[in-house]
Structure 1
Amino acid sequence: MQARVDGVADECTVEVAMAVLGGKWKLVILRHLLSGTQRFGELHRAMSGVTPRMLTRQLRELEADGLLRRRVYAQVPPKVEYSVTELGESLRDIADRLEQWGQWYREQFPGLPG
Protein backbone atom coordinates (compact mmCIF):
# COMPACT_ATOMS: atom_id res chain seq x y z
CA MET A 1 0.00 0.00 0.00
CA GLN A 2 2.80 2.43 0.76
CA ALA A 3 3.64 3.01 -2.90
CA ARG A 4 0.13 4.34 -3.60
CA VAL A 5 0.30 6.99 -0.87
CA ASP A 6 3.89 8.16 -1.38
CA GLY A 7 4.08 11.90 -1.76
CA VAL A 8 0.99 12.56 0.35
CA ALA A 9 1.69 15.00 3.17
CA ASP A 10 1.86 13.29 6.56
CA GLU A 11 -0.59 15.75 8.05
CA CYS A 12 -3.29 15.18 5.42
CA THR A 13 -4.90 11.92 6.42
CA VAL A 14 -7.96 12.62 4.27
CA GLU A 15 -5.67 12.48 1.22
CA VAL A 16 -4.35 9.12 2.40
CA ALA A 17 -7.91 7.80 2.74
CA MET A 18 -8.85 9.14 -0.69
CA ALA A 19 -5.72 7.64 -2.25
CA VAL A 20 -6.92 4.23 -1.05
CA LEU A 21 -10.71 4.61 -1.38
CA GLY A 22 -11.00 7.14 -4.20
CA GLY A 23 -12.73 6.06 -7.34
CA LYS A 24 -16.36 5.68 -8.25
CA TRP A 25 -16.63 1.99 -7.44
CA LYS A 26 -14.33 1.12 -4.54
CA LEU A 27 -16.73 1.87 -1.70
CA VAL A 28 -19.57 0.23 -3.63
CA ILE A 29 -17.46 -2.92 -4.05
CA LEU A 30 -16.55 -2.92 -0.37
CA ARG A 31 -20.19 -2.40 0.59
CA HIS A 32 -21.18 -5.51 -1.37
CA LEU A 33 -18.32 -7.58 0.04
CA LEU A 34 -19.05 -6.52 3.61
CA SER A 35 -22.21 -8.61 3.30
CA GLY A 36 -20.16 -11.70 2.41
CA THR A 37 -17.79 -13.37 -0.01
CA GLN A 38 -18.73 -13.03 -3.68
CA ARG A 39 -17.48 -14.11 -7.05
CA PHE A 40 -16.68 -11.68 -9.86
CA GLY A 41 -19.92 -12.35 -11.73
CA GLU A 42 -22.02 -11.77 -8.62
CA LEU A 43 -20.34 -8.43 -8.01
CA HIS A 44 -20.69 -7.41 -11.64
CA ARG A 45 -24.41 -8.23 -11.71
CA ALA A 46 -24.98 -6.35 -8.44
CA MET A 47 -23.30 -3.18 -9.72
CA SER A 48 -25.13 -1.76 -12.70
CA GLY A 49 -23.01 0.55 -14.78
CA VAL A 50 -19.54 -0.82 -14.03
CA THR A 51 -17.67 -2.44 -16.90
CA PRO A 52 -15.86 -5.74 -16.31
CA ARG A 53 -12.55 -3.99 -17.02
CA MET A 54 -13.19 -1.26 -14.44
CA LEU A 55 -14.40 -3.77 -11.86
CA THR A 56 -11.24 -5.83 -12.36
CA ARG A 57 -9.08 -2.73 -11.99
CA GLN A 58 -10.82 -1.58 -8.82
CA LEU A 59 -10.68 -5.09 -7.31
CA ARG A 60 -6.93 -5.29 -8.00
CA GLU A 61 -6.33 -1.91 -6.36
CA LEU A 62 -8.38 -2.84 -3.30
CA GLU A 63 -6.44 -6.09 -3.04
CA ALA A 64 -3.10 -4.28 -3.41
CA ASP A 65 -4.15 -1.90 -0.62
CA GLY A 66 -4.97 -4.81 1.68
CA LEU A 67 -8.72 -4.22 1.87
CA LEU A 68 -9.83 -7.40 0.17
CA ARG A 69 -8.52 -10.85 -0.54
CA ARG A 70 -8.76 -12.74 -3.79
CA ARG A 71 -8.94 -16.52 -3.50
CA VAL A 72 -8.37 -18.58 -6.61
CA TYR A 73 -9.47 -22.22 -6.63
CA ALA A 74 -7.48 -24.68 -8.75
CA GLN A 75 -10.30 -26.05 -10.83
CA VAL A 76 -11.69 -25.87 -14.35
CA PRO A 77 -13.32 -23.51 -15.03
CA PRO A 78 -11.39 -21.25 -12.66
CA LYS A 79 -13.24 -20.07 -9.58
CA VAL A 80 -12.26 -16.79 -7.91
CA GLU A 81 -13.82 -15.39 -4.76
CA TYR A 82 -13.41 -11.97 -3.17
CA SER A 83 -13.84 -11.14 0.50
CA VAL A 84 -12.89 -8.30 2.82
CA THR A 85 -9.83 -8.55 5.01
CA GLU A 86 -9.71 -7.40 8.62
CA LEU A 87 -8.49 -4.05 7.33
CA GLY A 88 -11.43 -3.89 4.92
CA GLU A 89 -13.81 -4.82 7.73
CA SER A 90 -12.58 -1.74 9.62
CA LEU A 91 -14.46 0.34 7.02
CA ARG A 92 -17.88 -1.14 7.89
CA ASP A 93 -18.96 1.76 10.11
CA ILE A 94 -17.82 4.31 7.53
CA ALA A 95 -19.68 2.50 4.74
CA ASP A 96 -22.82 2.31 6.90
CA ARG A 97 -22.66 6.02 7.68
CA LEU A 98 -22.12 6.93 4.01
CA GLU A 99 -25.10 4.81 3.06
CA GLN A 100 -27.23 6.58 5.68
CA TRP A 101 -26.03 9.97 4.51
CA GLY A 102 -26.75 9.09 0.88
CA GLN A 103 -30.29 8.11 1.80
CA TRP A 104 -30.75 11.34 3.76
CA TYR A 105 -29.36 13.39 0.87
CA ARG A 106 -31.68 11.70 -1.61
CA GLU A 107 -34.64 12.54 0.64
CA GLN A 108 -33.56 16.20 0.98
CA PHE A 109 -33.02 16.74 -2.72
CA PRO A 110 -35.22 14.27 -4.58
CA GLY A 111 -34.89 16.06 -7.93
CA LEU A 112 -31.10 16.01 -8.02
CA PRO A 113 -29.20 13.27 -9.83
CA GLY A 114 -27.35 10.75 -7.72
Structure 2
Amino acid sequence: MKKSYCPIDTFINAIKGKRKGTIILHLFQGNKRYSELVRLMPDISERMITKQLKELEKDSLINREVFPEVPPRVEYSLTELGKLIHPFLKGMYKGGLLFENVIDGLES
Protein backbone atom coordinates (compact mmCIF):
# COMPACT_ATOMS: atom_id res chain seq x y z
CA MET A 1 0.00 0.00 0.00
CA LYS A 2 1.34 3.37 -0.96
CA LYS A 3 0.38 6.69 0.60
CA SER A 4 -1.20 9.09 -1.89
CA TYR A 5 -1.57 12.84 -1.94
CA CYS A 6 -5.18 12.49 -0.79
CA PRO A 7 -6.39 9.98 1.84
CA ILE A 8 -9.37 9.13 -0.41
CA ASP A 9 -6.94 8.00 -3.12
CA THR A 10 -4.95 5.98 -0.57
CA PHE A 11 -8.14 4.14 0.43
CA ILE A 12 -9.28 3.57 -3.15
CA ASN A 13 -5.83 2.34 -4.19
CA ALA A 14 -5.90 -0.24 -1.38
CA ILE A 15 -9.27 -1.70 -2.39
CA LYS A 16 -9.31 -1.21 -6.14
CA GLY A 17 -8.89 -4.31 -8.17
CA LYS A 18 -11.02 -7.08 -9.52
CA ARG A 19 -13.39 -7.98 -6.66
CA LYS A 20 -11.20 -6.89 -3.71
CA GLY A 21 -14.17 -5.19 -2.09
CA THR A 22 -16.30 -8.29 -2.68
CA ILE A 23 -13.63 -10.50 -1.11
CA ILE A 24 -13.55 -8.29 1.97
CA LEU A 25 -17.35 -8.32 2.24
CA HIS A 26 -17.40 -12.13 2.01
CA LEU A 27 -14.68 -12.45 4.64
CA PHE A 28 -16.58 -10.13 6.97
CA GLN A 29 -19.19 -12.90 7.16
CA GLY A 30 -16.51 -15.31 8.40
CA ASN A 31 -13.30 -17.10 7.48
CA LYS A 32 -13.32 -18.67 4.04
CA ARG A 33 -11.27 -21.31 2.31
CA TYR A 34 -9.95 -20.58 -1.16
CA SER A 35 -12.45 -22.96 -2.78
CA GLU A 36 -15.34 -21.16 -1.04
CA LEU A 37 -14.19 -17.81 -2.42
CA VAL A 38 -13.93 -19.32 -5.91
CA ARG A 39 -17.47 -20.67 -5.60
CA LEU A 40 -18.80 -17.31 -4.35
CA MET A 41 -17.32 -15.45 -7.32
CA PRO A 42 -17.83 -17.61 -10.42
CA ASP A 43 -17.36 -14.67 -12.83
CA ILE A 44 -13.67 -14.17 -11.94
CA SER A 45 -10.79 -16.49 -12.82
CA GLU A 46 -8.95 -18.40 -10.12
CA ARG A 47 -5.74 -16.72 -11.25
CA MET A 48 -7.28 -13.29 -10.62
CA ILE A 49 -8.68 -14.33 -7.23
CA THR A 50 -5.21 -15.54 -6.21
CA LYS A 51 -3.66 -12.24 -7.35
CA GLN A 52 -6.20 -10.17 -5.42
CA LEU A 53 -5.80 -12.28 -2.27
CA LYS A 54 -2.01 -11.80 -2.38
CA GLU A 55 -2.42 -8.03 -2.76
CA LEU A 56 -4.95 -7.84 0.08
CA GLU A 57 -2.59 -9.82 2.29
CA LYS A 58 0.34 -7.59 1.35
CA ASP A 59 -1.73 -4.52 2.24
CA SER A 60 -2.56 -6.03 5.68
CA LEU A 61 -6.29 -6.30 4.98
CA ILE A 62 -6.53 -10.10 5.18
CA ASN A 63 -4.72 -12.97 6.89
CA ARG A 64 -3.78 -16.21 5.17
CA GLU A 65 -3.44 -19.19 7.49
CA VAL A 66 -2.04 -22.51 6.28
CA PHE A 67 -2.94 -25.52 8.40
CA PRO A 68 -0.37 -28.35 8.56
CA GLU A 69 -2.62 -31.02 7.11
CA VAL A 70 -2.48 -33.29 4.09
CA PRO A 71 -3.64 -31.88 1.78
CA PRO A 72 -2.84 -28.41 3.15
CA ARG A 73 -5.84 -26.34 4.17
CA VAL A 74 -5.70 -22.57 3.70
CA GLU A 75 -8.15 -20.14 5.27
CA TYR A 76 -8.51 -16.42 4.74
CA SER A 77 -9.78 -13.98 7.35
CA LEU A 78 -9.92 -10.24 7.84
CA THR A 79 -7.31 -8.38 9.85
CA GLU A 80 -8.42 -5.68 12.26
CA LEU A 81 -7.79 -3.13 9.49
CA GLY A 82 -9.93 -5.19 7.12
CA LYS A 83 -12.74 -5.20 9.68
CA LEU A 84 -12.46 -1.44 10.17
CA ILE A 85 -13.05 -0.65 6.50
CA HIS A 86 -16.19 -2.81 6.28
CA PRO A 87 -18.63 0.10 6.95
CA PHE A 88 -17.06 2.10 4.13
CA LEU A 89 -17.41 -0.80 1.71
CA LYS A 90 -21.05 -1.26 2.74
CA GLY A 91 -21.60 2.43 1.95
CA MET A 92 -19.96 1.96 -1.44
CA TYR A 93 -22.23 -1.06 -2.02
CA LYS A 94 -25.31 1.05 -1.30
CA GLY A 95 -23.97 3.79 -3.56
CA GLY A 96 -23.50 1.21 -6.31
CA LEU A 97 -27.14 0.15 -5.95
CA LEU A 98 -28.18 3.79 -6.26
CA PHE A 99 -26.23 4.20 -9.49
CA GLU A 100 -27.53 0.88 -10.86
CA ASN A 101 -31.09 2.16 -10.32
CA VAL A 102 -30.24 5.33 -12.21
CA ILE A 103 -28.70 3.31 -15.06
CA ASP A 104 -31.78 1.05 -15.19
CA GLY A 105 -33.98 4.15 -15.41
CA LEU A 106 -31.92 5.55 -18.28
CA GLU A 107 -32.07 2.28 -20.21
CA SER A 108 -35.87 2.04 -19.95
Q: Same fold (TM over 0.5)?
A: yes
2:103 equivalent to 1:106: no
2:23 equivalent to 1:5: no
Residues 18 and 48 in structure 2, CA contact (< 8 A), matched pair in contact too:
no
Could you list the per-position Cα deviations for residues 45-94 of structure 1 after superposition, in whole angstroms to 9, with x for gaps in the alignment? 10121111111110011011110000100001110000101000011111
Residues 15 and 21 in structure 2, CA contact (< 8 A), matched pair in contact too:
yes
Residues 18 and 52 in structure 2, CA contact (< 8 A), matched pair in contact too:
no
What residue number does 2:56 align with? 62
What residue number does 2:25 align with? 31
- Equivalent pairs counted in the alignment come to 107
- In the TM superposition, residue 98 of structure 1 has moved relative to its aligned partner by 1.4
**Cα 1:112–1:86 shift into 2, 3 Å:** farther
Using the aligned pairs only, state the percent identity. Answer: 36
- In the TM superposition, residue 111 of structure 1 has moved relative to its aligned partner by 6.3
What residue number does 2:67 align with? 73
Gaps of 5+ in 2: none
Task: Detail structure 1 runs of 4+ shifted over 3 Å in the superposition.
Answer: none
Give the letter for the 2:33 counterpart.
Answer: R
What residue number does 1:52 align with? 46
Structure with the higher fraction of residues in helix conformation: 2
Q: Which moved more, 1:44-53 or 1:81-90?
A: 44-53
Secondary structure in structure 2 of the residue aligned to 1:30: helix
Give the letter for the 1:82 counterpart.
Answer: Y
Gaps of 5+ in 1: none
2:35 equivalent to 1:41: yes
Compute the RMSD of aligned alpha carbons: 1.8
TM-score by structure 1 length? 0.84
- In the TM superposition, residue 100 of structure 1 has moved relative to its aligned partner by 1.3
